[in-house]
Amino acid sequence: MIQVDIDEAYKTVMETVGNAREIVIKGFEGSKTVEEKSSSYDLVTEFDKKTEVYIIETLSKAFPDHKFIGEETSSTCKLTNAPTWIIDPIDGTTNFVHSFPHSAISVALAVEKEMVIGVVCNPMQDQTFTAIKGKGAFLNGKPIHVSATTELKDAVVGFEISLASAPAIRDKFVKRYRSCVAQTQGMRCLGSAQLSLCMVALGAWDAYHVEHLFPWDLAAGSLIITEAGGTIMDIDGGVFDCETGRIITASTESLARKLVDVFEVDEE
């Protein structure tokens, strides 16, 4: 088994993300070449690619025995027990293309399939959310914590509304959204799964739900939430697995379970 110096890995990834943010800022402020991937709402720019290449090349030089899963370059999304860096170079590319300043570089390190480091950086807002397993969660070096909300009627809940663009899941997703609107204090949509997870960790939102995503969309943020004292689970209430791309996260387990119950009723 490969031994990992977590402190050294954290120092290296922070330096790497700090440099990568300059690539993203340059792209945000300048012109971009935009391509469609799987659909008109699944976009990529040359800055997604440049950022990912830079991060992987830098980390692979520092950790040649480690594996990598990246949104733009990986042929597989499967985790193994080997130390693995999970990278989304620009989470929220549609925001990035439209100059909406809420996109993030996200990098996580998994060891034996468990997240041990998570970094989510919004270069445009100068926000960097970080976590090391067992050491808490931070925003720009200051500790953060989830809210204490337990009731849906008191909760602000995040949904990734853009997923309703996909015909295969539109009806199901709109039904869930309507149920939540009727029972919560408010709904929010940011357009970046990683930053949305961080909003729960920060205590700005009380819960968040999304599915049909990939490990790079959830890995870093899921660790940041748990280190901030929050709860993560599968949408059926089971154990969260970032490889499924499905998550309910909340400030408290009680609130998360209430969302599970709402969605179960919708499926009946």
Catalytic residue numbers read: 71, 88, 90-91, 93, 217
Q: How far apart are CA 133 and CA 3, in angstroms?
A: 16
**Phi and psi at residue 183, to the nearest 5°:** -115, -5
Beta partners for residue 39, in sequence order: 42
Assigned token pair, 213: 């995503």
In one letter, which amino acid is 166?
Answer: A
**Numbered residues of the known binding site for Mg(2+):** 71, 88, 90-91, 217
The tokens describing 144, both together, are 């953060």
Question: What residue numbers does the annotated binding site cover?
Answer: 71, 88, 90-91, 217
- What is the C-alpha separation between 69 and 62, in angstroms, rounded? 16
